[in-house]
Amino acid sequence: MSGLLATRVAGLLLEHPVMNASGILGSEPEHVDILVAHGFAAIVTKTFTLNPREGYAPPVLVELRSGGFLNAIGLANPGVEGIKPIIERARLHGKSVIVSIGGNGPEEFTRVAEKAEEYGASAVELNLSCPHVKGYGLELGSDPSAAYSVVREVSSVIRVPVIVKLGLTERVVESAGRALEAGARALTLINTIRALAIDVYSLKPVLSNIYGGLSGTPIKPIALRVVYDVYREYSAEIIGCGGISSWIDVAEFILAGARAVQVGSALLKNRRVVYEITVGLEKWVRELGYRNIGELVGRAHYP
């Protein structure tokens, strides 16, 4: 691959802008092998919490007739001690590894972040965006002051870059600003969107948790809008996430202000998606006559 697609975000140099979204594998060492085989430029782990979590009882994932997926996994993970094997496997492949971290407040986030750094994480991604676990994620990210507190505590005790993942809320732009003020090097925008599906024969919600996170192509225009708004306000380093399934989707996010992207649901339907995206992006950059994809970041904002 030529240097046309090389990009840097949160201090990490990537050969191309496509990494996996947290939640798509990434909790076991063998998952790293799979993600590397698919061609991702960096590995993002599933969200790790201080203590192990079993998550919700099945069903936890459903494909929707309208497109996309609805999931409520419940942040299932083996706890903080599961981080080290993931990082060691990623290092064997020469890949940067971003450890996604969950917690119910600044103290838990900080303790997990310290362990991630100790084990060799390239960066941490603070999950302030999970839409279906009470007391975690979105409840923190939707409050700009709470977001500031978490990010400030974490960024004050670790040296590796802190990335903050925010979900869709009415105050997402404000929360983004407060996260940057508190020390975030970059923002991941956005997570899944709180939603619901009902089985018309059982007469009950499909998921055991009732509510889940909507992902896939239906949320792409919303995620794109959030990236555009946050970049316009702060010119921040952004990782776009939400409904990406083609190189055109990635190109839109780049033009809106993203330096890199994360792909999740599309991998469930197309195992060649990373290859197809990178081939398409190279052709696009060449046709436009630019030397590097970085020159196109935020171009949609220019006169």
Active-site positions read: 130
Report the SS3 class of residue 237. Answer: coil
Distance, CA of 95 to CA of 140 (rounded, Å): 30
Q: Tokens for 175, please give them.
A: 């929360």
Nearest Cα neighbor of 80 from 32, 46, 115 is 115
Distance, CA of 21 to CA of 169 (rounded, Å): 19
Report the run of H or E that residue 139 belongs to, with start and end: helix 138-141
Determine phi and psi for 258, rounding to 5 degrees. -80, 140
Distance, CA of 247 to CA of 251 (rounded, Å): 6
The four Cα atoms 170, 143, 98, 163 give a dihedral, to 10 degrees, of: 80
